[in-house]
Copies of this chain bind each other. A is one copy, B any other.
């Protein structure tokens, strides 16, 4: 139970950091487990992220079997998407790199 509290606290901290628009924790099937965004947007981001992780991991392993993906950062005109793939879950942080927080 304690670990769930830690997760909640961590998400709250990230969510209140400057410029953060949303935080999503997804399982490795690309399904959002926890999210500060609406379900539709969360599912969309998870779908994109899962494909990018899968593609990256395959290619990285093909290039060097001992190497592995640690972090992915996607900068678009409007947002920046930080992707942290861990063993059992993926954390996705959508933020506005210029610091302000316009609605998504």
Contacts and interface: CB of A to CB of B under 8 A. Distances in A.
Contacts of A51: 55, 59
Tell me how many chains of this kind the complex includes. Answer: 2
A77 B68 contact: yes
A78 B69 CA distance: 9
B63 A70 contact: no
A47 interface: yes
19 contacts: A44-B59, A45-B63, A48-B63, A51-B55, A51-B59, A52-B52, A55-B55, A64-B78, A66-B77, A67-B76, A69-B76, A70-B76, A71-B73, A71-B74, A72-B72, A72-B73, A73-B73, A73-B74, A73-B75
A42 to B, nearest CB: 11
Given A52-B55, A56-B52, A63-B45, A74 B75 contact: no
